C-alpha cells in the first residue's frame, strides 16, 4: 500500500510553505466530509451517488501523491456506476490510510 506524501503539494508550491499549509488545511477539512458522504451513499446502496463521491475523493488521493491508489479509485468509480463492488475493500483501505495520515 502506498503512503500519502507531500511531494505533489511541494511541486505545486514552489517552496511556498504558507501555500502548502493552506492546501493541507483544505484537504484535512474536506476529506472527512467527502469520506462520510461516500460512506452514507454506500450504506444507502446509492451507487451512482457513491461514484460521484469517489470522483471528489480522487482529487484528494492525487494531491496526497497516491498515484496507484488514484488509478484504483478511478476504476472503482466506474465500477460503482455498474453496481460492481469488487474494489470496495481496496478503496476503503485507501481511505483508512489517508485518514490515519491526516490525523497524525
Answer yes or no: is 63 within a domain.
yes
Answer yes or no: is 70 within a domain.
yes
Length of the chain: 104
Instruction: Report the b/e string of 28-54 with b at 16+ CB within 10 A.
Output: eeebeebbebbeebbeeeebebbbbbb
Answer yes or no: is 91 within a domain.
yes
Answer yes or no: is 6 within a domain.
no
Q: Which of 10, 84, 94, 20 is nearest to 48 (CA)?
A: 84
Q: Quickly list H helices, 15-64.
A: 17-43, 47-63
Structural domain of 35: 30-103
- What's the pLDDT tens digit per position in 69-82? 999 999 999 999 99
- In this prediction, residue 71 carries a pLDDT of 98
Answer yes or no: is 7 within a domain.
no
- In this prediction, residue 25 carries a pLDDT of 96
- What's the pLDDT tens digit per position in 18-33? 999 999 999 999 999 9
- In this prediction, residue 1 carries a pLDDT of 80
What is the number of structural domains in the chain? 1
Answer yes or no: is 65 within a domain.
yes
How far apart (Å, rounded) are the C-alpha atoms in residues 97 and 91? Answer: 10
Answer yes or no: is 83 within a domain.
yes
Amino acid at each position: 500500500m502506498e503512503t500519502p506524501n507531500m511531494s505533489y503539494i511541494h511541486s505545486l508550491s514552489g517552496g511556498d510553505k504558507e501555500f502548502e499549509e493552506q492546501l493541507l488545511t483544505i484537504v484535512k477539512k474536506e476529506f472527512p466530509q467527502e469520506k462520510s458522504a461516500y460512506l452514507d451513499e454506500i450504506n444507502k446502496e446509492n451507487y451512482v451517488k457513491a461514484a460521484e463521491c469517489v470522483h471528489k475523493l480522487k482529487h484528494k488521493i492525487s494531491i496526497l501523491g497516491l498515484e496507484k491508489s488514484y488509478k484504483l479509485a478511478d476504476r472503482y468509480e466506474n465500477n460503482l456506476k455498474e453496481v460492481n463492488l469488487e474494489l470496495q475493500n481496496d478503496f476503503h483501505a485507501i481511505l483508512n490510510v489517508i485518514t490515519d495520515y491526516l490525523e497524525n
